[in-house]
Amino acid sequence: MSAFEGRYPSRYQAITIHNVAKMPEWQRLDPELREAVEVTSRVLPFRTNVYVVQELIDWDRVPEDPMFQLTFPQPGMLDKEDFEAMRDLIRRGASREEMLAKANEIRFKLNPHPAGQMTHNVPELDGHRLWGMQHKYRETVLFFPAQGQTCHAYCTYCFRWAQFVGIQELKFESKQVDMLVEYLRRHKFVTDVLFTGGDPMIMKAKALRQYIEPLLQPGLEHVQNIRIGTKALSYWPQRFVTDDDADEVLRIYEEVVKAGKHLAVMAHFTHPREMSTEIVREAIRRVRDTGAEIRMQAPIVHPINDNPQTWATMWREGVKLGMIPYYMFIERDTGPKNYFEVPLVKAQEIFREAFMQVSGLARTVRGPSMSAWPGKVRVLGTAEIRGEKVIVLDFLQGRNPHWAGRPFFAKYNPEATWLNHLEPAFGQEKFFFEEEEPIVWWEVEKDPFAQEEAAAVPA
């Protein structure tokens, strides 16, 4: 029996608008705030859990508390007008249908399909689309296990909100794993498979095994790295410590490492508080004991973590616990983005001020980075070149591999929050990447240039 049994909630229990009133913590909120959360959650539903509520949120600091902001919808997330319309419907006891109609009307204004979340970059094999996969960058195939499309809690800033509220239909391949394996066999330049979601660690060990084990078989030696994107360490570290199948999960991780592959847990950490409990520290130790590495990533979001101290502390703590800082993201252009957004220039200043404070071991982090249509674009900083104030950017990943690491310049714009708000500097009409056809990796055989790029990866 684990020393952690009984010290932390051990039975996972989701908390939503339907049962939150049973939590004593909820009753401590002032009635106006309770109503505001309830109204907002009709449009953007929340889901949290007992661990988050009892161990991560500091209820003495609510509503400013970052962990509260992270999982409970905030009044400012909706336009004033929409908020009031929804509130009035609730106050006058409108019918479910009426409320749902209003909720959907508001949802559609929130850009539910940013950058083609699930539909773009879906590869084809013999003319058949592989739903549940994406292949945007040469080395890496993204894989969305059908059973991994939810999370132990929902982040209020999540760009997958449209899928959580059910207005974005998800399509999945019925023989998902077979298709993935076949696709990988035919594309030897793919070195990484990234399991994502939702959260793949929501799956039982048995389901997880069905997805991971097939990647260890002969013929897939070129798949060197398996990554799992997850927020389970933050929202439910019990997954690796006290859950019934926690040991089984760790055995799967060990098998990947024993098969000679690198297993990277891409851990979503938004705030250092998430690393502070004893059980998350035990979870980190146990995951690392399997030979897996843990890399940390999160978006920069107002007001949860948009200050240098929060990031510097998170990177320092993370490194101390044996994790590797990886990405700081810019929040995507969807959902209640206006509420959370941090301008690119400001985000870069925060990044730099945090970066300055930490040792080289934490400077493995890169960002702030936008996952935009042409690729992952990093804001490197601002400069003045021949009298023109500019923003300097580069690609961390591009649809064309040779876009990476090449600085380019945009007109200075302190308000811009996304790539499409930027214009080329120095009187240029277009950015360099707008003048090239992006490579479509699953059609590599049709494109001699793409073949050359693919051949650059040793099989």
Ligand X SMILES: *Cc1c(COP(=O)(O)O)cnc(C)c1O
Binding site for ligand SF4 (CB under 6 A): 151, 154-155, 158, 160, 197-199, 231, 268
Print the binding letters for residues 173-202 with ligand X: x by CB under 6 A, - otherwise.
---------------------x--------
231 binds, among ligand X, ligand SF4, none (CB under 5 to 8 A by kind): ligand SF4
Size of residue set near ligand X by CB under 6 A: 10
Which one among 239, 376, 378, 399 touches ligand X, defined by CB under 6 A?
376
- The answer to the question of residue 370 lying near ligand X (CB under 6 A) is no
Q: Are the beta carbons of 275 and 269 closer than 8 angstroms?
A: yes
CB atoms under 10 Å from CB of 451, counted, come to 14
Distances, alpha carbon 159 to alpha carbons 71, 110, 163, 214, 301, in Å: 14, 10, 9, 30, 12
Nearer to ligand X by Cβ, of 277 and 397: the residue is: 397
Which one among 163, 277, 397, 417 touches ligand X, defined by CB under 6 A?
397
Q: Which range in 137-145, 203-211, 283-291, 414-422 contacts ligand X by CB under 6 A?
A: 137-145
- Give the gyration radius of the chain's Cα atoms: 22
Q: Which range in 135-143, 158-166, 283-291, 308-316 contacts ligand X by CB under 6 A?
A: 135-143
CB atoms under 10 Å from CB of 406, counted, come to 12
Nearer to ligand SF4 by Cβ, of 138 and 332: the residue is: 332
**Strand ordering across the sheet containing 408-411:** 133-137, 140-143, 192-195, 225-230, 262-268, 293-300, 324-330, 366-371, 375-385, 388-398, 408-411
Q: Are the beta carbons of 264 and 194 closer than 8 angstroms?
A: no
Site for ligand X in 30-89 (CB under 6 A): none
Nearer to ligand X by Cβ, of 102 and 261: the residue is: 261
Q: Minimal distance in Å, beta carbon 332 to ligand SF4?
A: 10
- The answer to the question of residue 334 lying near ligand X (CB under 6 A) is no
396 binds, among ligand X, ligand SF4, none (CB under 5 to 8 A by kind): ligand X
The DSSP secondary-structure symbol of 8 reads B
- The answer to the question of residue 400 lying near ligand X (CB under 6 A) is no
* DSSP state letters, 187-205: -TT--EEEE-SS-GGGS-H
Question: Whole-angstrom Cα distance, residue 332 to residue 264?
Answer: 24
Q: Are the beta carbons of 169 and 160 closer than 8 angstroms?
A: no
Closest CA to 190 of 252, 253, 142, 240: 142
Q: Are the beta carbons of 367 and 378 closer than 8 angstroms?
A: yes
Q: Minimal distance in Å, beta carbon 93 to ligand SF4?
A: 31
Q: Which range in 133-141, 147-155, 279-287, 348-356 contacts ligand X by CB under 6 A?
A: 133-141
Q: Minimal distance in Å, beta carbon 224 to ligand X?
A: 12
- The answer to the question of residue 144 lying near ligand X (CB under 6 A) is no
Token pair 């009044």 is found at: 75
Question: Whole-angstrom Cα distance, residue 86 to residue 40?
Answer: 8
Nearer to ligand X by Cβ, of 163 and 371: the residue is: 371
Q: Minimal distance in Å, beta carbon 268 to ligand SF4?
A: 5
Nearer to ligand X by Cβ, of 29 and 190: the residue is: 190
Quick one: the chain helix, strand, coil %, rounded to 5? 40, 20, 40
Which residue type is seen at 233?
A: L
Token representation of residue 341: 């957004």
SS3 per residue for 292-314? CEEEEEEEECCCCCCCHHHHHHH
Q: Are the beta carbons of 164 and 150 closer than 8 angstroms?
A: yes
| 289 Cβ contact partners less than 8 Å away, ≥ 6 residues apart | 250
φ, ψ for residue 113, nearest 5 deg: -125, 65
Q: Are the beta carbons of 67 and 56 closer than 8 angstroms?
A: yes
9 binds, among ligand SF4, ligand X, none (CB under 5 to 8 A by kind): none
Which one among 68, 137, 154, 433 touches ligand X, defined by CB under 6 A?
137
376 binds, among ligand SF4, ligand X, none (CB under 5 to 8 A by kind): ligand X
270 binds, among ligand SF4, ligand X, none (CB under 5 to 8 A by kind): none
| 316 Cβ contact partners less than 8 Å away, ≥ 6 residues apart | 357, 358, 359, 362
Q: Minimal distance in Å, beta carbon 453 to ligand SF4?
A: 31
Q: Which range in 50-58, 99-107, 131-139, 275-283 contacts ligand X by CB under 6 A?
A: 131-139
138 binds, among ligand SF4, ligand X, none (CB under 5 to 8 A by kind): none
Which residue type is seen at 453?
A: E
Nearer to ligand X by Cβ, of 227 and 302: the residue is: 227
Token representation of residue 350: 């925060």
Q: Minimal distance in Å, beta carbon 418 to ligand SF4?
A: 18
134 binds, among ligand X, ligand SF4, none (CB under 5 to 8 A by kind): ligand X
Nearer to ligand X by Cβ, of 264 and 344: the residue is: 264
Give the footprint of ligand X on this chain (CB under 6 A).
134, 136-137, 140, 142, 194, 371, 376, 396-397
